[in-house]
Amino acid sequence: MIAGISTATAQLNDFRSRPSVPPTSDTSDDVSSELRAPGSGPDAERGRESDLRADDQVRDVSRPGELSPGDKKRVRELQLRDAEVRRHEQAHAAAGGAYAGSPRYDYERGPDGKQYATSGSVQIDVAPVQGDPEATISKMMQVKRAALAPAQPSSQDRAVAARAQAQLAQAQRERNQERALGSEAQEVTAATRGEAAYTSQNRSRGSQSSAALGVMRLLDPPLAA
């Protein structure tokens, strides 16, 4: 596993290397989820060790330096698995961009003595951008693309995508609320300015009327007694 890169992170792991584990509820502030897929865990490891011991027994009766048919088959399986795992994790990393870490791999030594990647993970930042809904929307869209980037996303990959979608929806609601408040403020400001202009105009007209009446009184002759 890779050390966390934010207070809210998720692991995008290879989709076949580990057993499906139901996601556990997380009530802490430091939220993280780990993507696992079938084919790993203590039981799987013990099974592989048992298979390797059986293969060792077969090799014991083979000619020195020559792999048994079973060993050759296992090497081919590991080669295919290695390529599959790397494609999967590199797809996560490439789509995640600045929000994704580098792929990390777990290895198994094959009958030929070489190390083959059998599982992997990419850690990705899924924390919202505080106080900036627009930035959060953009970020969560990229996180979602990264989670679903491999040809066959795992169930946990899809869980990370769903989490990003939820964060995205929340940010959209916050953005809409901000826009609505902004529109109301603009309407109030415009109305206030309109009232002030109307009052000023009426005052100006009143002053002009009073001045005109005053002039008329000065010009009119006094009434005869």
Residue-wise pLDDT for 180-223, tens only, equals 887 766 766 666 666 666 566 666 665 555 544 444 444 444 54
Q: How far apart are CA 159 and CA 108, in angstroms?
A: 27
Q: What is the pTM of this model?
A: 0.60
| Contact predicate 124/92, CB 8 Å | yes
Say what angle helices 155-219 and 133-147 make with each other, to 10 degrees: 160
Q: How far apart are CA 216 and CA 30, in angstroms?
A: 83
To the nearest whole percent, how much of the chain has pLDDT over 90? 49
pLDDT in tens, 73-120: 999 999 999 999 999 999 999 999 999 999 999 999 999 999 999 999
To the nearest whole percent, how much of the chain has pLDDT over 70? 54
pLDDT of residue 48: 56
